[in-house]
């Protein structure tokens, strides 16, 4: 059982990037029209960033690992699509970044195809097993004990999402997207800091799992392997990647891989059965497109947080001229962003796949966002969640981040959170 971390804490990072592109640059007379623009680089310098600047002429890949980004690059150089590159990076990160994501989880993907002038979303989120009931939770002393039990394992939908993405948007054979990671699994990979930190934070769980203990702990010293040590995943895991490469992603749910998966889940105390695996699915739909002055935001529908991101940017739209005059991120600008996020995240807890149409319409409404912007006090913040529209009994979710991959190829783009 690996550490699973939520999607929502990525939203503030995305907002900061969008603020740099959108709020610090007012539309000019010669701004490109929607029919002709090709998302160019901003004409004006952006505020300073701690991240190194890289410039590319044909494609760009950003993932959690340089190793996986390089594998994705090789896929693109073979003639793969942007989605092929993203899938190669995801499969790779699921191995060497298993503390954050992997084939046992779920994902949300946005795809923009320039040729079609259309964006698409793939929702493949993990689901609860049918056998899980409220009374199952009462038998645990606390939340941590539940999280370490087999009952906390969700039905994975990650590979169902990969299957839909590859079938609709892929060019290369599926096997060519998985084989590079299979080779990496067999030869091993160097332990890097983010994974090492995750091991330390979750060391009780790691030490209590025989497979993870063999993989990450020196049997002589009893300590975690040092940074840079060659981590060798189990032969069983590498065999799973081999079978997925040969049999396809859906073998995880219906083939021989599924049989072994269910056996492992039973050994872990999970109630997931074959019916649950049959329920795991991915949904392909057109993305939600929200106009924002001279830009369009292409957003994932619920249960993704795309509409929350759009709503927050819509609130900040009222202050665009103020941001443009400021030119740099000062205390007031940060305050405005934080207040807008508070109003936005209250709406996040109301969103799921069955969210009502009235709520969805309000989140893309300029009028509603403007009315919320007027509630922001320039010189004061509030600790009461009700001030931001929350119910008095709202329960705060403990979430810590996630893994994200972005690929640009020509004028096509892929953005996926897993």
Q: What's the pLDDT score for residue 5?
A: 35
Mean pLDDT across 30-35: 53
Please report which confidence band the pLDDT of residue 3 belongs to, taking 50, 70 and 90 as the band edges: very low
Q: Is the same domain home to 311 and 177? A: no
**Rounded Cα–Cα distance for residues 239 and 162 (Å):** 19
Does 398 fall in a domain? Answer: no
Is residue 11's pLDDT more than 90? no
Q: What's the pLDDT score for residue 134?
A: 80
Annotated binding site: 125
Annotated binding site for L-glutamate: 125
Q: Is the same domain home to 339 and 254? A: no
- Non-local (6+) Cβ contacts of 306 within 8 A are 110, 121, 287, 288, 297, 299, 300
Q: Is the same domain home to 227 and 98? A: yes
Does 400 fall in a domain? Answer: no
Number of folded domains in the chain? 2
322-338 per-position pLDDT tens digit: 877 777 778 888 899 99
285-341 per-position pLDDT tens digit: 999 999 998 899 999 988 888 999 999 999 999 998 887 777 777 888 889 999 999
Q: What's the pLDDT score for residue 324?
A: 79
Tokens of 137: 């939770």
The distance between the two most distant Cα atoms of the chain, rounded to a whole number of Å, is 69
Does 393 fall in a domain? Answer: no
Q: Is the same domain home to 250 and 300? A: no
Q: What's the pLDDT score for residue 398?
A: 66
Q: Is the same domain home to 138 and 218? A: yes
Q: Is the same domain home to 276 and 309? A: no
Mean pLDDT across 244-271: 93
Q: Above pLDDT 90, what percent of the chain?
A: 61
What mean pLDDT is reported for the chain?
87
C-beta separation of 65 from 97 below 8 A: yes
Is residue 2's pLDDT more than 60? no
Q: What's the pLDDT score for residue 1?
A: 33
Q: What's the pLDDT score for residue 139?
A: 81
Segment of 26-30, 348-352, 358-362 carrying the highest mean pLDDT: 358-362
Tokens of 161: 């999402």
Tokens of 176: 């060519």
In sequence order, the β-bridge partners of residue 113 are 118
Active site residues per annotation: 402
Range of the domain at 149: 62-284+405-413
Q: Is the same domain home to 265 and 358? A: no
Q: What is the CATH number of the domain that holds 326?
A: 1.10.246.130
14 φ, ψ to 5°? -65, -40
Is residue 258's pLDDT more than 90? yes
Tokens of 217: 């702990």
**Rounded Cα–Cα distance for residues 123 and 283 (Å):** 5
Helix (H, G, I), strand (E, B) or coil at 187: helix
367-379 per-position pLDDT tens digit: 999 999 999 998 8
DSSP conformation class of 282:
-
Q: Is the same domain home to 409 and 272? A: yes
Q: Is the same domain home to 306 and 210? A: no
Q: Is the same domain home to 95 and 192? A: yes
56-103 per-position pLDDT tens digit: 889 999 999 999 999 999 999 999 999 999 999 999 999 999 999 999
């Amino acid at each position: 059982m690996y550490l699973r971390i939520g999607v929502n804490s990525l939203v503030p990072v995305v907002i900061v990037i969008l603020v740099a592109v959108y709020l610090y640059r007012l539309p000019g007379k010669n701004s490109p029209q929607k029919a002709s623009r090709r998302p160019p680089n901003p004409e004006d310098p952006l505020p300073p960033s701690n991240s190194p600047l890289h410039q590319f002429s044909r494609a760009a890949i950003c993932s959690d690992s340089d190793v996986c980004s390089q594998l994705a690059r090789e896929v693109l150089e073979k003639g793969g699509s942007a989605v092929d590159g993203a899938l190669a990076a995801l499969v790779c990160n699921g191995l060497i970044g298993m503390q954050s994501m992997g084939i046992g989880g779920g994902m949300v993907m946005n795809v923009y195809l320039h040729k079609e002038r259309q964006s698409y979303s793939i929702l493949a989120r993990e689901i609860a097993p049918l056998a899980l009931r409220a009374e199952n939770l009462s038998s645990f002393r606390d939340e941590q004990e539940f999280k370490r039990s087999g009952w906390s394992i969700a039905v994975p939908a990650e590979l169902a999402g990969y299957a839909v993405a590859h079938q609709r948007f892929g060019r290369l054979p599926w096997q060519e997207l998985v084989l590079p990671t299979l080779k990496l699994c067999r030869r091993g990979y160097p332990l890097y800091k983010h994974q090492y930190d995750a091991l330390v934070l979750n060391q009780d769980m790691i030490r209590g799992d025989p497979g993870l203990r063999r993989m990450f702990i020196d049997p002589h010293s009893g300590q975690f392997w040092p940074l840079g040590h060659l981590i060798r995943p189990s032969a069983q895991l590498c065999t799973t990647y081999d079978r997925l490469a040969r049999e396809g992603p859906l073998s995880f749910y219906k083939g021989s891989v599924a049989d072994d998966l269910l056996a492992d889940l039973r050994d872990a105390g999970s109630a997931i059965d074959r019916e649950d695996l049959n329920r795991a699915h991915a949904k392909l739909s057109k993305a939600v497109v929200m106009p924002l002055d001279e830009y369009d935001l292409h957003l994932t529908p619920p249960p993704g947080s795309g509409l929350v991101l759009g709503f927050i940017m819509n609130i900040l739209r009222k202050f665009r001229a103020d941001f443009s005059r400021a030119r740099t991120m000062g205390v007031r600008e940060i305050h405005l962003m934080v207040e807008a996020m508070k109003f936005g995240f209250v709406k996040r807890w109301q969103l799921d796949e069955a969210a009502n149409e009235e709520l969805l319409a309000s989140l893309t409404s300029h009028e509603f966002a403007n009315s919320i912007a007027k509630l922001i006090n320039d010189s004061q913040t509030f600790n009461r969640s009700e001030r931001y529209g929350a119910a008095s009994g709202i329960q705060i979710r403990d979430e810590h981040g996630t893994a994200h991959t972005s690929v640009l190829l020509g004028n096509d783009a892929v953005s996926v959170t897993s």
